[in-house]
Amino acid sequence: MDTQDDCIIIGAGPAGLTAAIYLARFHLSIRLFDCGNSRAALIPRTHNHAGYPHGIKGTDLLALMLEQAERFGARREMAEVTAIVPIDDGFDVQVEGSSFHARSVLLATGVVNNRPDMPRDEHDDALARGLLRYCPICDGYEVTDKRVGVIGTGDHGMREALFLRGFTSDITLIAPGAAHDLDKECRARLDAAGIAHVDGPCTPIQVRDDRIVAATPDGEMVFDTIYPALGSKIRSDLAVAAGARASSDGCLEVDAHQRTSIPGLFAAGDVVKGLDQISHAMGEAGVAATTIRNLLDEQRPIRR
């Protein structure tokens, strides 16, 4: 470890790239590590992100953000971080056999959606065509008045189905396993909203022409779109292993300035509990980056 960076950013999705833009423009030395699996890259086209009236593909948005960060001196390195170790004057960040020394670290590693049981190529094709969707906040508008299936159960599945009821009246909640785990209140709320609920399992799930089909014990069900409501895995392992506090589901606990329980370690985006939206992640990253700048200035005044 011959040099010390002001900040190492782990993750190059919307949060990580926003932080890179801010920190580079603050004239700080940064490293941006990207293992190449941002969830934003899977978005066929987002129409929720302000400033793009005709929508924008996730990959195009990430490319533009990276270009902007690089314009101000940020550099992305394609590598996977394997450990964050707090040390006396910052952090030792271990990356595929090498170590880097940083005064601060920002974790922007996001989450991974739990997927239905489908071959990967078929899943990705259905996702690209809008036959599978994961975010009703992002794209519920696109299923207005269409036939929608929701794979899920329990409180989480019920809430996703009820949210989608604001866009269409034709919704079926299908259990991913053999039978629904719905208590009396859940069933009553679904029935009151006119949402059908059928037992599973719902396999196989197949694409046929412009529809998506789920096989159930009651027979095949054909939909315009299916939303898997199967939860997600929070990619907070690096911070938790370093000693940062997290919620029971793995979301990192942060304060209003995106500071984790470890001094100098920050987190932004979907790895933090909150609204899983690009705009929200970018806002958190701006807060985190500005706080990092001010923290480092208190330790050692930034002068040009």
Let me know if domain 4-112+232-299 sits in CATH 3.40.640.10: no
* Top-level class of domain 115-228: alpha beta
Q: Which of 216, 217, 214, 155 is nearest to 187 (CA)?
A: 155
4-112+232-299 and 115-228 have identical folds: yes
Bridge-based pairing of strands 219-223 and 211-216 is antiparallel
* Three-state SS at 181: coil
Q: Which of 5, 61, 7, 1 is nearest to 290 (CA)?
A: 7
Q: What angle do CA 24, 29, 33 make, to 5 degrees?
A: 85
Spell out the residues 6+ positions from residue 152 whose beta carbon is closer than 8 angstroms to its own.
158, 160, 161, 173, 174, 175, 176, 228, 229, 230
Question: What pLDDT, on a 0 to 100 scale, did the predictor assign at position 274?
Answer: 85
Q: Is the dihedral of CA 22, 25, 30, 31 positive or negative?
A: positive
Question: What pLDDT, on a 0 to 100 scale, did the predictor assign at position 1?
Answer: 47
**pTM assigned to the model:** 0.94
Residue whose pair of structure tokens reads 């396999």 in the numeric block: 203
Q: Using one digit for the tens of pLDDT, what is the confidence trace for 183-195? A: 999 999 999 999 9
CB–CB of 238/107 below 8 Å?
Answer: yes
Backbone angles phi, psi at 99, to 5 degrees: -125, 140
Q: Which residues of the chain have pLDDT under 50?
A: 1
Q: What are the angstrom distances between the C-alpha of 119 and each of 14, 123, 134, 205, 213?
A: 28, 6, 17, 9, 14
Residue 291 CA to residue 295 CA, distance in Å, equals 6
Q: Is the dihedral of CA 57, 62, 65, 66 positive or negative?
A: negative
Residue whose pair of structure tokens reads 């932080």 in the numeric block: 19
In the chain, domain spans: 4-112+232-299, 115-228
Query: Distance between the two ends of the chain, CA-based, in angstroms?
Result: 25
Question: What pLDDT, on a 0 to 100 scale, did the predictor assign at position 60?
Answer: 97
Q: Which residues of 23-57 are buried (b: 16+ CB within 10 A; e: fewer)?
A: bbbbebebbbbbbeebbbbebbbbebbeeeeebbb
Q: Which of 119, 114, 147, 111 is nearest to 131 (CA)?
A: 147
